[in-house]
Homo-oligomer: A and B are copies of this chain.
Amino acid sequence: MTGLQHAAPAPLDLMFQALADPARRGMVERLTQGPASVSELAAPYAMSLSAVVQHLRVLEDSGLVRSQKLGRVRTCQIQPGGLSLAEQWINDRRTTWERRLDRLSQYLADTAQDDGETP
């Protein structure tokens, strides 16, 4: 019996949820220009350090960021392939959508030929 009490959220849930907060996006933006400590990441924000750490945890759980502690400072950095899942989902939507439009306009062109083309 594999019945889970609360189903684990899908990776994409965690990823998009993580990106839905402006502070968390800001931290990711900061980290794309290079690693930073927790307090460096916290500096631009009005919130408490505790709140920043909680955001960081969401980012790590989503696979976007990873970090390691050395002495008393934790250094955070982008997880290299982190965004690729989200990127791929969006790309899949775009291509499916575009293929459909192509088929549709092809169909319309063919139909136009069938009756109204030469008056």
Q: List residues of A whose CB falls within 8 A of some B CB.
A: 10, 12-13, 16-17, 19-22, 25, 28-29, 32-34, 78, 83, 86-87, 89-91, 93-94, 96-97, 100
Given contacts A17-B20, A20-B20, A21-B13, A32 and B97 within 8 Å (CB-CB): yes
Picked from B22, B28, B86, B100, the residue with its CB within 8 Å of the CB of A13 is: B22
Q: In the complex, A86→B86 CA distance in Å?
A: 9
Are A100 and B20 in touch, CB under 8 angstroms?
Answer: no
Interface of A is mostly: helix
A-B contact pairs, 30 of them (CB 8 A): A12-B19, A12-B22, A13-B20, A13-B21, A13-B22, A16-B16, A16-B17, A16-B19, A16-B20, A17-B17, A19-B89, A20-B20, A25-B89, A29-B96, A32-B93, A32-B96, A32-B97, A32-B100, A33-B100, A78-B97, A83-B90, A83-B93, A83-B94, A86-B86, A86-B90, A87-B87, A87-B90, A87-B91, A87-B94, A90-B90
- Distance in Å: Cβ of A28 to nearest Cβ of chain B: 6
- Distance in Å: Cβ of A20 to nearest Cβ of chain B: 4
Q: In the complex, A91→B21 CA distance in Å?
A: 18
